């Protein structure tokens, strides 16, 4: 039995608004596909089946090249991870799988399958969809296929049954004991190929120490609201495993790494006690940071904290249900920098109700905070979020086009952009202004030069700087979707 897990390419991304250097395959930043690597590791540990992985964005593989790899490998089961934005690429890969062998069983998982499991299972060339955690269910599915057992007895599946009828098996609870999962099978992919522009080492990887988020930001969709956390000992054991594989830096991609101050301290103490010398970064909330946790993060090797700040106006933060204030942001950024930790701020512009002055206030706020890095994105609404559902109820859009797209994927220029007080063109122009104001400051440029410690760092960040400058300094023609489907 052969299993092939595929991270699809991103040749046909849909719906996104933002600079290309932040949303397309980019040689300055690449992260391993942890989701399918977790499933690969679980299959390897619990079966004797042959397992392979294709990370199509890593190598910039064309559809024909992916098809050739599928043909050479001759898998019995293919699993594809998908986001809604990458659904067209996912559908194309599923088609290529069936083209090489119509009997190959095709399973779709990932964020899109979690939101639209029934629609995903009923797509052409797809046999099943897996919402939620995929490790256990994928293993049970492959075993059943190998043994010729019926699949409708496996909990948590959405299947295309006889006569193309949808079959939904009983619900499956999320995996409770994350420590029981083996570490992602990173060795199936080249270690040296993965890195991120703000990392100082030649190669880096991502880790997740928990799954889920208890907060309810209006623009965000997370599969689980209850947080499931791994033990500090298990987390640090994976860090040691990453070091053995040759990774020089780790970026924790938890939805919220610091949901518990005690747990942050416990992980950091475990790192210090084991004498580990490795840089890492975390994504954290500003309202959950304390001087004590920052001290431990710094001692353990945390070199960067990524804060979801979103806006420079308290009224906008309330609308987004962030649960934070600008004063909290100032305090936490100041404390982090005093602890010797770099800070990245994530910002959103084009939020319903925002005026041009509000957006400029957010840009001013990012500059005022003296952040080390800032990422600005225009708000586009994503499926299964409070803002998108709110827009549908208010009649902002004439239909649920994400649902339509999930049922019938086809190239679309439609973008779920809530054009409220500001025309799209103004927001687009202000996005460029944000990058220009933040990154084109002489004082910022000088600070970054002083941080460089290697030719690799100079080369990597230099490439990224040129892309930012190209985007921010040249106005170009503001792309406007032919139809935003707004009433």
pLDDT of 421 reads 78
Q: Which of 22, 155, 84, 121 shows the shortest CA–CA distance to 464? A: 22
* Ranges under pLDDT 70 in the chain: 15-28, 200-201, 413, 450, 452-487
pLDDT of 311 reads 97
Burial 188-215 (b: 16+ CB within 10 A, else e): bbebeebbbbbbbbbbbbbbbbbbbbeb
At which residue do the structure tokens 């199936």 appear? 188
pLDDT of 22 reads 58
Whether 228 and 181 have beta carbons less than 8 Å apart is answered as no
pLDDT of 29 reads 72
- Reported as a single tens digit per residue, the pLDDT across 359-391 is 999 999 999 999 999 999 988 888 999 999 999
pLDDT of 18 reads 62
Show the DSSP H helices in 104-231 as ranges. 111-115, 117-121, 135-147
pLDDT of 476 reads 47
pLDDT of 40 reads 98
In total, the chain counts a number of residues equal to 487
| Domains with residue ranges and CATH for the chain | 2-168 (3.40.50.2300), 190-473 (3.80.30.20)
Q: How far apart are CA 465 and CA 16, in angstroms?
A: 22
Q: How far apart are CA 303 and CA 292, in angstroms?
A: 16
pTM value surpassing 0.85: yes
In SS3 terms, 35-82 reads as HHHHHHHHHHHHCCCEEEEEEHHHHCCCHHHHHHHHHHHCCCEEEEEC
Half-sphere exposure of 139 (CA within 13 A, CB side): 15
Give the strand order in the sheet containing 302-310.
204-207, 249-252, 279-284, 302-310, 342-349, 373-378
pLDDT of 163 reads 84
pLDDT of 199 reads 75
Q: How far apart are CA 257 and CA 324, in angstroms?
A: 16
Q: How far apart are CA 290 and CA 92, in angstroms?
A: 48
pLDDT of 59 reads 86
pLDDT of 14 reads 77
């Amino acid at each position: 039995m052969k299993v092939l897990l595929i991270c699809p390419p991103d040749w046909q991304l849909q719906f996104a608004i933002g600079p290309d250097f932040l949303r397309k395959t980019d040689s300055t930043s690449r992260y391993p596909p942890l989701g399918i690597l977790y499933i690969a590791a679980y299959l390897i540990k619990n079966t004797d089946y042959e397992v392979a992985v294709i990370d199509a964005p890593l190598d910039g593989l064309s559809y024909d090249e992916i098809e050739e790899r599928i043909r050479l490998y001759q898998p019995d089961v293919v699993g594809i991870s998908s986001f809604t934005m990458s659904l067209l690429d996912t559908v194309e890969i599923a088609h290529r799988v069936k083209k090489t062998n119509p009997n190959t069983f095709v399973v779709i998982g990932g964020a899109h399958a979690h939101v639209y499991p029934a629609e995903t299972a009923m797509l052409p060339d797809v046999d099943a969809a897996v919402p939620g955690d995929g490790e256990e269910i994928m293993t049970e599915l492959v075993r059943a296929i190998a043994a010729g057992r019926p699949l409708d007895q496996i909990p948590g599946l959405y299947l295309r049954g006889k006569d193309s009828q949808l079959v939904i098996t009983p619900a499956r609870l999320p995996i409770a004991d994350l420590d029981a999962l083996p570490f992602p099978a990173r060795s199936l992919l080249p270690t040296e190929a993965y890195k991120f522009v703000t990392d100082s080492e030649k190669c880096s990887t991502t880790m997740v120490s928990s799954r889920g988020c208890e907060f309810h930001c209006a623009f965000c969709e997370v599969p689980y609201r209850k947080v499931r956390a791994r033990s500090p000992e298990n987390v640090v054991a994976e860090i040691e495993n990453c070091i053995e594989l040759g990774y020089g830096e780790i970026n924790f991609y938890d939805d919220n790494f610091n949901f518990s101050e005690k747990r942050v301290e416990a992980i950091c103490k475990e790192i210090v006690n084991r004498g580990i010398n490795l840089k890492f970064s975390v994504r954290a909330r500003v309202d959950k940071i304390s001087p004590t946790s920052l001290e431990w993060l710094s001692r353990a090797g945390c070199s960067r904290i990524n804060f979801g700040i979103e806006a420079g106006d308290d009224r906008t933060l309330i609308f987004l249900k962030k649960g934070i204030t600008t004063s909290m942001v100032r305090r936490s950024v100041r404390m982090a920098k005093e602890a010797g930790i770099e800070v990245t701020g994530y910002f959103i512009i084009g939020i319903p109700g925002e005026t041009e002055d509000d957006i400029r206030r957010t840009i001013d706020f990012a500059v005022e905070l003296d952040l080390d890095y800032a990422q600005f994105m225009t708000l586009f609404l994503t499926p299964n979020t409070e803002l998108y559902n709110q827009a549908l109820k208010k009649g902002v859009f004439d239909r649920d086009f994400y649902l339509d797209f999930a049922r019938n994927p086809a190239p679309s220029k439609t973008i779920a952009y809530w054009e409220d007080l500001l025309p799209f063109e103004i927001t687009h122009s202000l996005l460029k202004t944000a990058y220009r104001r933040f990154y084109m400051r002489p004082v910022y440029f000088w600070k970054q030069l002083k941080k460089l410690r290697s030719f690799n760092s100079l080369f990597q960040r230099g490439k990224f700087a040129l892309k930012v400058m190209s985007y921010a300094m040249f106005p170009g023609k503001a792309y406007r979707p032919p139809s935003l489907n707004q009433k």
